[in-house]
């Protein structure tokens, strides 16, 4: 079963708006990563947040982590059409494998 699951599955917004995606996971983690995928191709690593961190920023990205709720959120501020992509959270399972969620498909309309 998936370690991480994203919500919503799809999100459509206008350029300039903020986009928030949520991820839930099942087991204890040391850290959680967010990846971006364009057009069903290779994934690009966006940001990693450790279990002892509550919030992390990188440019227009803001990631939060709530280990008590086993959830994380990715916020993209002032979205652009170029942000249109699928976004995945990923965690490591007990055997050291990277497990991905189903992803959120973000569409930013100009």
Partner 1 sequence: GAGVSQSPSNKVTEKGKDVELRCDPISGHTALYWYRQSLGQGLEFLIYFQGNSAPDKSGLPSDRFSAERTGGSVSTLTIQRTQQEDSAVYLCASSSLGLAEETQYFGPGTRLLVL
Q: From CA 103, how far away is CA 37, in angstroms rounded?
A: 9
Letters for 5-44 (x = contact with partner 1 by CB under 8 A, - = none) are -------------------------xx-x-x----xxxxx
Binding-site residue total for partner 1 (CB under 8 A)? 24
From residue 1, alpha-carbon distances to 8, 92, 98, 110 in Å are 18, 13, 13, 36
Closest to partner 1 by CB, 41 vs 69, is 41
From residue 24, alpha-carbon distances to 79, 82, 93, 101 in Å are 23, 26, 14, 9
Residues 70-99 that bind partner 1 (CB under 8 A): 88, 92, 95-99
Contact residues for partner 1, defined by CB under 8 A: 2, 4, 30-31, 33, 35, 40-45, 48, 88, 92, 95-103
């Amino acid at each position: 079963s998936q370690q991480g699951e994203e919500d919503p599955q799809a999100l459509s917004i206008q350029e300039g708006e903020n986009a928030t995606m949520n991820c839930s996971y099942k087991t204890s983690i040391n850290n959680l990563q967010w990846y971006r995928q364009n057009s069903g191709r290779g994934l690009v690593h966006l940001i990693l947040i450790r279990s002892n961190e509550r919030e992390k920023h990188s440019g227009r990205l803001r990631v939060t982590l709530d280990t008590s709720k086993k959830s994380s959120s990715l916020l993209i501020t002032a979205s652009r059409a170029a942000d249109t992509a699928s976004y995945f959270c990923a965690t490591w399972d007990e055997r050291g494998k990277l497990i991905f969620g189903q992803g959120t498909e973000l569409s930013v309309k100009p």
